[in-house]
C-alpha cells in the first residue's frame, strides 16, 4: 500500500510541474493576443488621427480616402479594445488541458477566418476603386483605395497573428502529447484524443 501511495505521489508531483508548464503555455497565448491587440489599437489610433486631419483638410478622392480610413479604424479600435480587455480578464485564469486546447483552436481559427475576410476586403476595395474610375466617382475611388489599404494591413496582421498563435499551439500540442496526464490542484485527468 505504501509503495502504491508513493507511486501516486510521484505521478501527481510530476504532473503538478507539468500543469505549471501548461499554464505557462496559456500565459504565452494570452501575451501574443495582448501584443496583437496593442498593435491593432495603435494602428487604429494613428489612422483615426491622421485620417481625421486628412478628412478635414483635403478635397476630392483624397478626402474620401481619409474619411474611410477614419471610419474603418473606429471599428478596429473597438475590436482592439475588446480583445485587449479579454486578455486582461484572462491573464491569471487557469485552464485544464482540454480548455487549453479549445482556447488554442478557437484563437487560431479566428485569425484564419479573419485572413479570409481580409482577402474579401481587398477584393471589395479593388471593385470600388474600379467602379470609381469607370463612373468618375471620387468617393468610390477614395473609399476603394482606403479599403484596399486597410484590408492589406489586416491581412498582414492576421497572418502574423495566426503564424504566432499556430507556433504557440504546436508547442501546446507537443506538450500535451508528452504529458497526457494533468493535475489542476483538485483532480487528476488525462487527455484522450479522438
The whole-number pLDDT of residue 46 equals 98
Instruction: Give CA–CA dist 65/132, Å, rounded.
Output: 12
* Domain around 54: 33-91+102-179
Closest C-alpha to 158, from 87, 79, 70, 81: 79
* Inside any domain, residue 54: yes
Total tally of structural domains belonging to the chain: 1
**Could you tell me which of 51, 82, 32 has the C-alpha nearest to residue 149?**
51
Residue 186 in this model has a pLDDT that exceeds 90: no
**With helix as H, strand as E and coil as C, how does 51-101 read?**
HHHHHHHCCHHHHHHHHHHHHHHHHHHHHHHHHHHHHHHCCCCCCCHHHHH
How high is the pLDDT of residue 180? 75
Of the spans 96-100, 163-167, 171-175, which averages the highest pLDDT?
Answer: 163-167
Q: Specify if 14 maps to a domain.
A: no
Q: Are 121 and 147 in contact (CB under 8 A)?
A: yes
pLDDT digits (tens, 9 = 90+) for 51-68: 999 999 999 999 999 999
d(CA 163, CA 82): 22
Within a domain: 110:
yes
Cell of 92: 491569471
| Model pLDDT, residue 181 | 63
The verdict on residue 3 lying in a domain is: no
Q: Does any domain span residue 2?
A: no
The strand pairing partners of 188, in sequence order, are 183
Banded model confidence at residue 177, pLDDT cuts 50, 70, 90? confident
Amino acid at each position: 500500500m505504501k509503495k502504491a501511495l508513493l507511486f501516486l505521489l510521484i505521478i501527481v508531483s510530476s504532473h503538478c510541474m507539468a500543469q505549471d508548464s501548461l499554464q505557462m503555455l496559456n500565459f504565452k497565448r494570452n501575451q501574443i493576443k495582448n501584443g496583437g491587440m496593442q498593435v491593432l489599437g495603435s494602428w487604429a489610433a494613428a489612422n483615426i488621427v491622421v485620417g481625421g486631419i486628412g478628412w478635414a483638410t483635403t478635397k476630392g478622392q483624397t478626402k474620401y480616402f481619409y474619411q474611410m480610413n477614419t471610419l474603418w479604424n473606429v471599428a478596429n479600435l473597438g475590436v482592439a479594445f475588446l480583445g485587449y480587455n479579454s486578455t486582461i480578464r484572462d491573464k491569471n485564469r487557469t485552464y485544464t488541458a482540454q480548455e487549453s486546447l479549445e482556447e488554442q483552436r478557437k484563437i487560431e481559427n479566428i485569425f484564419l477566418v479573419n485572413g479570409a475576410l481580409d482577402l474579401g476586403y481587398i477584393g471589395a476595395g479593388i471593385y470600388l476603386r474600379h467602379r470609381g474610375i469607370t463612373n468618375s466617382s471620387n468617393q468610390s475611388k477614395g473609399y476603394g483605395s482606403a479599403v484596399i489599404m486597410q484590408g492589406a494591413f489586416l491581412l498582414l496582421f492576421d497572418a502574423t497573428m495566426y503564424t504566432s498563435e499556430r507556433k504557440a499551439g504546436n508547442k501546446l500540442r507537443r506538450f500535451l502529447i508528452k504529458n497526457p496526464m494533468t493535475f489542476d490542484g483538485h483532480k487528476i485527468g488525462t487527455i484522450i484524443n479522438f
